[in-house]
Structure 1
């Protein structure tokens, strides 16, 4: 799959693409990332990509024309109809389902906005969907783009050390969309705190039941709407419901 990133700060992505376990996906081009700077498509000696907003107000607005030319160049090189995604507080909140959708697809064009915003006429003409990380505002879309790329990359075959690692993640359908359980490692006793007995029992069924109950308890406490979603989808067993009733 291929992701074309439109960003005024392509230098931000170097360390990200070369670090951590997900670098395997980028180095192998399983997730092919290409960087495009809209300044390269701006006119004039100063290569302006922004201007003052009509109607007045603080900040600057990204110009439509350099972005349109940049998208045109990307489309010509890609020769496909991959969607153009804009990272924006107005967008749908990024969730695991969207990550899985992107991880199975051909990729996308990712637009990292800056300044006060982007000329709405460009958005109306070119943007297929808007994505948000949450109810807060960043100085640009680069951090959000890295979050999406990281989430997509770790789902690619061979990227994680254990192929089944992501199946144990929070929100994964393999765990019925629940949050993950607590994890422990050596030493067995740390600062007077031990490890839950089921994890030391060697009894696989007992361990799995403990983990299931922990996921249910944590999800019920922190994200009760996920419990309701799992219940509505018929993913909770009678044993699950009995445990929840005891909380």
Structure 2
């Protein structure tokens, strides 16, 4: 499921937040969106996911808009937990799909084990640690087998162990066929995960290409400075 952005812009109170952007993303890959604070990374993800209204331009998926929305999932930097148990959080998206109870129970048990919360199914989700909540949010997104998964800084403020566990879940999902588009400030993480990179700057698409090329020889001075840790 590929997507194309043509002259997409987002304005708030007359101020340009994003664009105009022209961007093509193929149906497969693990795209990492990089850039300094305020570059427009989160806004780009929200535009792609259809939760940010564009002021101009078009977003075109290779399938109908309805099918595209149904095939996507989004994990926020600060996960939103239902005030219910781990079990109920995992079951919720499956109930929306009107799956039968036996199938839901089987999937919930399976995914609870995958995210390391198999022994915590009846614990209230809001009482989980930060890393556990993020893993639950990821499991809740992946349990629907989305074709495209958006993630906004999913490992921000997490310790090394939780980060490694989440990265393993993401790589497994990608291997299983999920198309991933993710923002991160962690360049080490970007190098570990990315198949390709979108580099944002001042609300615009500044550079795009394979991760192997970008991290070895970024094409622009601004991208090179960013990789060196300089302020851009």
TM-score (norm 2): 0.24
Which has the larger strand fraction? 2
Which has the larger helix fraction? 1
Higher relative contact order (CA 8 A, sep 6+): 2
Larger Cα Rg: Structure 1 or Structure 2? Answer: 1
